């Protein structure tokens, strides 16, 4: 089982995405577990403030160090295992999430995900509390909740038993460094468009060769940057 400990100001955002589909079934079967920690619950003072103005001036507000630190302490107390395998801050400044990273994370028992908000977090969180920063792309969204959902889904797919067949994830785009080959289903002809003949031949060696060729072509046409590492 893999457990994701999610530190967020909006835990209710995660309810619907993980109550159905592949992840919903994985939760029901006890393969994936989600634990939520509302960062505001660990804020100090009468107003339970979780953000403040940045030193030196600038636009917006920053999430404060202390509530995040206290929430991490609650995670450690709850698990009884001390520091988690990975403490990840979802951040536009982070390392780009890749299939290789998700496959590596899938072997973890406990992963902590910190969902930032506002203009970001006090940099001492990055310097002293997290093991890595991860970004889901070269763009900015309003908070770390959506990136956390993407990471949870991508990592969970690599956990044994989550998908109907463990081989399914190994054929996904990026699993072997290439984009996935085209796929078709019945009927074999519709609106004048036919399935490639090789897929109807029953010759599995030729089908595999065709699929590899198509994966290479698609990668070359759409993501040529992937080819040197494929």
List, as one string, the DSSP characters of 53-117. Answer: PPTT--SS-EE-HHHHHHHHHHHHHHHSSSS-SEEEEEEEEEEEP-HHHHHHHTT-SEEEEEE--
Q: What pLDDT, in 10s, does the model give residues 130-145?
A: 999 999 999 999 999 9
Give the mean model confidence (pLDDT) for residues 108-125.
95
- Rounded CA-CA distance 37/125 in Å is 16
Three-class secondary structure of residue 2 per DSSP: strand
From the list 11, 67, 145, 157, the catalytic residue is 157
pLDDT value of position 23: 95
pLDDT value of position 213: 97
Does the pLDDT value for residue 112 go beyond 90? yes
Of the candidates 55, 56, 57, which has an alpha carbon nearest to the alpha carbon of residue 65?
Answer: 55
**Tokens read off for 98:** 């890749």
Euclidean distance between the first and the last CA atom of the chain, given in angstroms as a whole number: 30
Q: What element of type H or E holds 51?
A: strand 51-52
pLDDT value of position 82: 66
pLDDT value of position 165: 74
pLDDT value of position 80: 80
- Rounded CA-CA distance 169/27 in Å is 18
Residues in the chain: 230
Among the ranges given (111-115, 206-210, 226-230), the one the predictor scored with the smallest mean pLDDT: 226-230
Please state the separation of Cα 115 from the chain's center in Å: 12
DSSP summary character for residue 121: B
DSSP summary character for residue 149: H
From the list 40, 172, 211, 220, the catalytic residue is 172
- Rounded CA-CA distance 98/121 in Å is 23
From the list 66, 92, 180, 223, the catalytic residue is 92
- Rounded CA-CA distance 6/34 in Å is 7
Give the mean model confidence (pLDDT) for residues 175-203.
94
pLDDT value of position 169: 66
119 included as an active-site residue: yes
User: What pTM does this model have?
Assistant: 0.89
From the list 66, 85, 119, 153, the catalytic residue is 119
**Tokens read off for 13:** 């955002």
Among the ranges given (25-34, 138-147, 152-161, 170-179), the one the predictor scored with the smallest mean pLDDT: 170-179
**Tokens read off for 159:** 């956990």
Q: Are 65 and 122 in contact (CB under 8 A)?
A: yes
Does the pLDDT value for residue 229 go beyond 90? no
Confidence label for 176 from pLDDT (cuts 50, 70 and 90) = confident
Q: What pLDDT, in 10s, does the model give residues 69-101?
A: 999 999 999 888 666 789 999 999 999 999 999
Does the pLDDT value for residue 217 go beyond 70? yes
Residue with tokens 């988690």: 84
172 included as an active-site residue: yes
pLDDT value of position 79: 85
pLDDT value of position 34: 97
pLDDT value of position 194: 97
Among the ranges given (65-69, 83-87, 126-130, 202-206), the one the predictor scored with the smallest mean pLDDT: 83-87
Does the pLDDT value for residue 65 go beyond 70? yes
């Amino acid at each position: 089982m893999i457990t994701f400990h999610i530190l967020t100001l909006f835990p209710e955002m995660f309810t619907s995405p993980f109550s159905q589909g592949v992840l919903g079934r994985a939760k029901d079967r006890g393969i994936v577990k989600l634990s939520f920690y509302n960062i505001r619950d660990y804020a100090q003072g009468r107003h339970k403030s979780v953000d403040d103005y940045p030193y030196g001036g600038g636009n917006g507000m920053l999430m404060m160090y202390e509530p995040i630190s206290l929430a991490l302490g609650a995670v450690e107390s709850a698990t009884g295992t001390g520091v988690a395998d990975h403490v990840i801050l979802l951040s536009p400044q982070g390392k780009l999430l890749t299939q290789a990273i998700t496959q590596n994370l899938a072997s973890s028992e406990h992963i902590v995900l910190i969902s930032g908000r506002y203009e970001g977090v006090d940099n001492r969180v990055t310097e002293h509390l997290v093991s890595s920063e991860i970004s889901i792309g070269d763009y900015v969204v309003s908070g770390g909740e959506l990136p956390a959902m993407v990471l949870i889904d991508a990592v969970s797919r690599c956990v044994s038993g989550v998908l109907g067949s463990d081989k399914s994830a190994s054929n996904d785009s990026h699993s072997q460094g290439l984009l996935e080959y085209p796929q078709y289903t019945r009927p074999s002809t519709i609106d004048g468009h036919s399935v490639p003949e090789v897929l109807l031949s029953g010759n599995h060696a030729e089908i595999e060769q065709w699929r590899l060729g198509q994966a290479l072509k698609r990668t070359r046409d759409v993501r040529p940057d992937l080819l040197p590492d494929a």
